[in-house]
């Protein structure tokens, strides 16, 4: 994967001359903290963006001057194919994968610096509000403004699902519950809270399986049809959970999928819910092998939800994220029992349901643009390198990136920009798509009601990732500017949290 050095400075009007000044007006790019730099102006190859916790080795890009050449190095488009556009495929992980920001909140409130920051999960957890799509389809939104650096554009894409249908379709839920000794205390308390919150959101006719695991498996419920919300058998099973023994996560998950397959219903949502503090110290502990079990289940339409119970710095986030990611599953984290009610009560449909399978986002840009910073999970010129993701109802996929021209002087305001989204309908696997055709100038001139919040969330996550005082203070200023009225409770929350960082 190739990376490029960033050229700094220059007024926003330089990008496309006078025509751009009209669209730019008094806009300023403001803060952009360290995100992953992109790999493509054009041509083949594949790459991973830097929105997550993994950073591949950075090699000098021959299209740009190295850092020691200074910021005044002349831009160059040498060697690029001017005859065809750049086509990229983007992913932000499942829209209901949200573990990283909640674990960060727990650590900050405990006086510790967060780690393993996945920026795209912050965009999933903190809601960027787009209008709901009509039932059965998706809506597509694109917002842009001049970036902080010469020749750049901050672009945010939103893919919004329809609101959850009421009454929802019936559901088969298979609980795979960690009861190992490491769960003693906060872990088992949060697990019980999650069980009870889900029980409160179930309806008559839903089917529940339950297996607990430590060194061995114990099947507690098999094909149990709940009587309605707060089913007594399910509540009793939650209250009876006790932490003891070792941790054989792999065998517990395998048994869970056996139960889920035995209770599979073609006309219902089938979901395995794995709850754990992420430890795996007995039996097969290889995360890839564990992930393959969930991946096989997903092919049959059995979706995986991972629920991390923590607590704090002892929690194995990497293992739990790998398990769910390999199976294209959702991932949430509970920093307190009350979070269980928020995720499985207020946001039950958003966390548990699926509105669109295999959502793939295709971005077509003029030949001279590349993604310079990417705040999603991965992107590539090869669609096979980017795994399509699922989208929940009442939810949105948010993809934020910084585009950069190889030379600002070659940008044409009328050049085409296209976004195409394809997906499959759950159960029927019917293929659907929606597209947005625009131009560079029209994109910049359009309304951008949610871009400020998206960039504030990114600034928060990226500042936590670096832990540098300057980045933390600059992000704090951006967050407060995006919430000048104080009316957004989520921005108010992160404005307080960032000031708890030990380096602030």
Between CA 210 and CA 238 the distance in angstroms is 10
Between CA 165 and CA 350 the distance in angstroms is 11
Choice between 417 and 64, residue whose per-residue pLDDT is larger:
417
Helix (H/G/I), strand (E/B), else coil: 351? helix
Is the pLDDT score of 211 beyond 60? yes
Q: Which two tokens stand for residue 374?
A: 């990417």
Between CA 202 and CA 210 the distance in angstroms is 15
Q: How high is the pLDDT of residue 294?
A: 65
Q: How confident is the model over 120-145, as pLDDT tens digits?
A: 999 999 999 999 999 999 999 999 99
Q: Which of 17-21, 342-346, 442-446 has the lowest mean pLDDT?
A: 17-21
Whether the upstream peptide bond of residue 311 has omega within 30° of 0, thus cis, is: yes
pLDDT band for position 314 (cuts 50, 70, 90): confident
Mean pLDDT along residues 354-368 = 95
Q: How high is the pLDDT of residue 19?
A: 37
Q: Residue 208 to residues 95, 260, 302, 329: CA-CA distances in angstroms?
A: 24, 9, 14, 19
Is the pLDDT score of 462 beyond 90? yes
Q: How high is the pLDDT of residue 456?
A: 98
Q: β-strands 389-391, 302-308: how paired?
A: unpaired
Q: Which two tokens stand for residue 121?
A: 């999960």
Helix (H/G/I), strand (E/B), else coil: 235? helix
Q: Which of 150-164, 224-238, 382-396 has the lowest mean pLDDT?
A: 382-396
Q: How high is the pLDDT of residue 344?
A: 96
* Cβ–Cβ under 8 Å, residues 387 and 317: no
Is the pLDDT score of 485 beyond 50? yes
Q: How high is the pLDDT of residue 321?
A: 81
Got the DSSP string for 164-178? PPSSPPPEEEEEEEE
Question: Using N-to-C axis directions, what is the helix angle for 249-262 and 317-326, rounded to 10°?
Answer: 30
Mean pLDDT along residues 74-84 = 91
pLDDT band for position 328 (cuts 50, 70, 90): low
pLDDT band for position 426 (cuts 50, 70, 90): confident
* Closest CA relative to residue 144, chosen from 442, 477, 466, 353: 442
Question: Using N-to-C axis directions, what is the helix angle for 317-326 and 99-109, rounded to 10°?
Answer: 170
Domains annotated for the chain, with CATH where assigned, are 171-352 (3.40.50.410)
Q: How high is the pLDDT of residue 33?
A: 34
Is the pLDDT score of 197 beyond 80? yes
Report the half-sphere exposure of 47 (CA within 13 A, side-chain side).
30
Between CA 372 and CA 494 the distance in angstroms is 26
Is the pLDDT score of 416 beyond 90? yes
Q: Residue 502: how many CB atoms within 10 A of its CB? A: 12
User: Cα 257 to the chain's mean position, in Å?
Assistant: 25
Is the pLDDT score of 46 beyond 60? no
**pTM as predicted:** 0.85
Instruction: Please name the residue that has the structure tokens 């869970």.
Output: 256
Is the pLDDT score of 112 beyond 90? yes
Q: How high is the pLDDT of residue 186?
A: 94
Q: Which two tokens stand for residue 248?
A: 């054989």
Q: How high is the pLDDT of residue 355?
A: 93
Mean pLDDT along residues 262-269 = 89
pLDDT band for position 247 (cuts 50, 70, 90): confident
Q: Residue 431: how many CB atoms within 10 A of its CB? A: 10
Is the pLDDT score of 60 beyond 60? no
Q: How high is the pLDDT of residue 461?
A: 98
Q: How confident is the model over 1-32, as pLDDT tens digits?
A: 322 222 223 333 333 433 333 334 333 333 33
Q: How high is the pLDDT of residue 5?
A: 27
Between CA 178 and CA 400 the distance in angstroms is 36
Q: How confident is the model over 289-311, as pLDDT tens digits?
A: 676 676 666 666 788 899 999 88
Phi, psi of 428 (to 5 degrees): -85, -25
Angle at 98 between CA 95 and CA 99, to 5 degrees: 150
Instruction: Please name the residue that has the structure tokens 């727990």.
Output: 106
Q: How confident is the model over 153-186, as pLDDT tens digits?
A: 999 999 999 999 989 999 999 999 999 999 999 9
Q: How high is the pLDDT of residue 319?
A: 77
Report the length, in residues, of the chain.
Answer: 504
Q: Which two tokens stand for residue 405?
A: 């021209």
């Amino acid at each position: 994967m190739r990376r490029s050095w960033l050229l700094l400075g220059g007024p926003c009007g330089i990008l496309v001359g006078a025509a751009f000044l009209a669209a730019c007006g008094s806009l300023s790019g403001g803060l952009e903290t360290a995100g992953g730099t992109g790999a493509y102006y054009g041509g083949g190859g594949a790459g991973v963006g830097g929105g997550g916790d993994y950073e591949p080795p950075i090699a000098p890009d021959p299209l740009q001057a190295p850092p020691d050449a200074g910021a005044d190095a002349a831009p160059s488009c040498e060697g690029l194919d001017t005859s065809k556009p750049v086509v990229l495929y983007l992913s932000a992980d499942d829209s209901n994968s949200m573990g990283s920001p909640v674990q960060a909140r727990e650590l900050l409130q405990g006086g510790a610096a967060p780690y393993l920051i996945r920026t795209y999960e912050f965009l999933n957890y903190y809601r960027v509000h787009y209008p709901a799509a009509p039932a059965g389809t998706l809506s597509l939104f694109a917002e842009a403004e001049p970036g902080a650096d010469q020749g750049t554009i901050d672009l945010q894409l939103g893919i919004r699902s329809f609101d959850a249908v009421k009454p929802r379709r019936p559901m088969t839920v298979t609980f795979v519950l960690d009861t190992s000794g490491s769960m003693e205390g906060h872990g088992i308390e949060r697990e019980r809270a999650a069980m009870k919150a889900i029980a409160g959101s179930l309806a008559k006719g839903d089917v529940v399986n339950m297996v607990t695991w430590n060194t061995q498996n114990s099947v507690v419920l098999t094909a149990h049809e709940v009587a309605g919300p707060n089913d007594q058998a399910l509540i009793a099973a939650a209250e009876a959970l006790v932490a003891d023994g070792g941790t054989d996560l792999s065998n517990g998950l395998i048994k869970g999928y056996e139960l889920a397959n035995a209770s599979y219903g073609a006309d219902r949502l089938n979901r395995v819910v794995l709850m754990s503090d992420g430890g795996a110290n007995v039996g097969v502990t290889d995360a890839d092998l564990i992930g393959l079990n969930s991946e096989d289940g997903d092919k049959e339409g059995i979706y995986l939800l991972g629920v991390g119970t923590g607590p704090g710095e002892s929690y194995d986030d990497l293992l739990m994220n790998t398990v769910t990611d390999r199976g294209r599953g959702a991932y949430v984290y509970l920093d307190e029992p009350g979070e269980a009610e928020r995720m499985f009560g207020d946001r039950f449909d958003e966390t548990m349901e699926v509105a669109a399978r295999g959502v793939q986002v295709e971005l077509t840009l003029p030949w001279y643009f590349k993604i310079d910073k990417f705040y999603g999970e991965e992107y590539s010129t090869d669609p096979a390198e980017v795994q399509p993701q699922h989208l929940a109802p009442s939810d949105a996929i948010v993809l934020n990136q910084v585009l950069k021209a190889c030379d600002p002087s070659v940008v044409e305001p009328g050049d085409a920009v296209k976004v195409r989204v394809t997906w499959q309908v759950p159960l029927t696997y019917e293929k659907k798509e929606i597209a947005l055709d625009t131009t560079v100038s029209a994109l910049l001139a359009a309304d951008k009601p949610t871009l400020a919040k998206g960039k504030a969330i990114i600034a928060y996550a990226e500042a936590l990732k670096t832990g540098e005082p300057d980045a933390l203070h600059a992000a704090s200023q951006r967050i407060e500017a995006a919430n000048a009225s104080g009316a957004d409770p989520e921005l108010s929350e992160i404005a307080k949290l960032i000031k708890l960082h030990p380096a602030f």
